[in-house]
Amino acid sequence: MSFITGALYAALVVYLGGWYVGQWQGNFSLLLFLLTLVTLAYWLAERYKFRPAREAAASALVAQDEARRAQLASQGIAQVDSNVSEARNKLLAQPWWLDWTAGLFPVICAVFLMRSFLFEPFKIPSGSMVPTLLVGDLILVNKFHYGIRLPVINKKIIPNHEPQRGDVMVFRYPVNPSLDYIKRVVGVPGDEIAYLNKKLTVNGKPIESTAMADFYDEDTMRYFMQYSENLSGVSHRLLIDKNRPPYIPQQYVEDFAFKENCRYSGEGVVCKVPAGHYFMMGDNRDNSQDSRFWGFVPDENIVGKAFVIWMNFGNLKRLGFFQ
């Protein structure tokens, strides 16, 4: 068993190493699920086979020692130098391969359940949601807000709230579902979304926006036009790059499902959101690859609702809830 356990750990190290250096893409949910199953198997084997066997061996050792002492006492020998306590403790001790598998099961299982059904941490990798979220922000995502989903396959089994315009949502990237993206919900099923000349309209109604002081982006060392937008009662900030044209270059537009629901022009794009799908946009409007480029997000791709920054090691003032 020690050889098998060592081989499993070696395979885990190789997998994580290849994932880290970019040799292949990993699925952390699947990995955590498999680790839970493997450590559960070891935990059950420890509880019902290995530990009872060690306890039986330790009991037999103590019984043999007591029988030997009784035999010597019958011969008038009362002083016996041997002490089986150390040997008994060695027999009862877990070998390393059980300590690093069965011993880790409660922790791994708790992490798996919490991450699958309650909250999942994410790190913001890009500037598409600036100024709401900055590169390096560590956020928490509510996994049950939009319904309880089975881990790994992401199938909804218990419905809850429906996504609303203005929500900041994490979802599986439709082009490559192994990647997680974060954007703001702009359109829900049945909406007609128009983003023309850098103005957002929902169902023919222009979305209210108010100019604010220019935003200085430390990563690009540039100033951007900043606005406060009220999207269905959700007030948030967004950025506009006045140097970017409003149109979407067709060479950057993916061949996505329901593409026929969208009309592209020199002014921008107009899309009708199909049933069971959502239209997503980044708050950094001219620096975001979003539904304008790769289409609608299906309900089955939803991961959860982002709601709080729990850490930013470069700026502790960033901590707190956001809209």
Reading the block at residue 36, the tokens are 């839970």
Cα 19 to Cα 199: distance, rounded to the nearest angstrom: 40
Q: Which residues pair with 225 in a beta bridge?
A: 240
CA-CA distance, 184 to 280, in Å (whole number)? 5
The span from the CA of 39 to the CA of 36, in Å, is 5
- Top-tier CATH class for 122-321: mainly beta
Quote the pLDDT of residue 162: 97
Q: Which residues contact 26 (CB under 8 A, 6 or more apart)?
A: 15, 16, 19, 178
Q: Is 128 part of the annotated catalytic residue set?
A: yes
Choice among 85, 90, 126, 128 that is catalytic = 128
**pLDDT tens-digit profile, the chain (323 residues):** 788 888 888 988 887 888 777 777 778 888 999 999 999 999 999 999 999 999 998 888 888 888 887 887 787 777 766 778 888 888 889 999 999 999 999 999 999 999 999 999 999 989 999 999 999 999 999 999 999 999 988 999 999 999 999 999 999 999 999 899 999 999 999 999 999 999 999 999 999 999 999 999 888 889 999 999 999 999 999 999 999 999 999 999 999 999 999 999 999 999 999 999 999 999 999 999 999 999 999 999 999 999 999 999 989 999 999 98
User: Helices 2-20 and 28-45 sit at what angle, rounded to 10 degrees?
Assistant: 170
Q: In three state form, how does the secondary structure of the chain look?
A: CHHHHHHHHHHHHHHHHHHHCCCCCCCHHHHHHHHHHHHHHHHHHHHHHHHHHHHHHHHHHHHHHHHHHHHHHHCCCCCCCCCCHHHHHHHHCCCHHHHCCHHHHHHHHHHHHHHHHCEEEEECCCCCCCCCCCCCCEEEEECCCCEEECCCCCCEEEECCCCCCCCEEEEECCCCCCCEEEEEEEECCCCEEEEECCEEEECCEECCEEEEEEEEECCCCEEEEEEEEEECCEEEEEEECCCCCCCCCHHHCCCCCCHHHEEEECCEEEEECCCCEEEEECCEHHHCCCHHHHCCEEHHHEEEEEEEEEECCCCHHHCEECC
Determine whether 266 is exposed, middle or buried from the number of CB atoms within 10 Å of its CB (0-12, 13-18, 19+).
exposed
Q: Could you tell me which of 260, 289, 277, 304 has the C-alpha nearest to residue 191?
A: 277
272 included as an active-site residue: no
Q: At residue 212, what are phi and psi to the nearest 5 degrees? A: -125, 180
How buried is residue 76: exposed, middle or buried, by Cβ count under 10 Å (0-12/13-18/19+)?
A: exposed
- Is 86 exposed, middle or buried, given 0-12, 13-18 or 19+ CB atoms closer than 10 A? exposed
Catalytic residue among 183, 198, 291, 305: 183
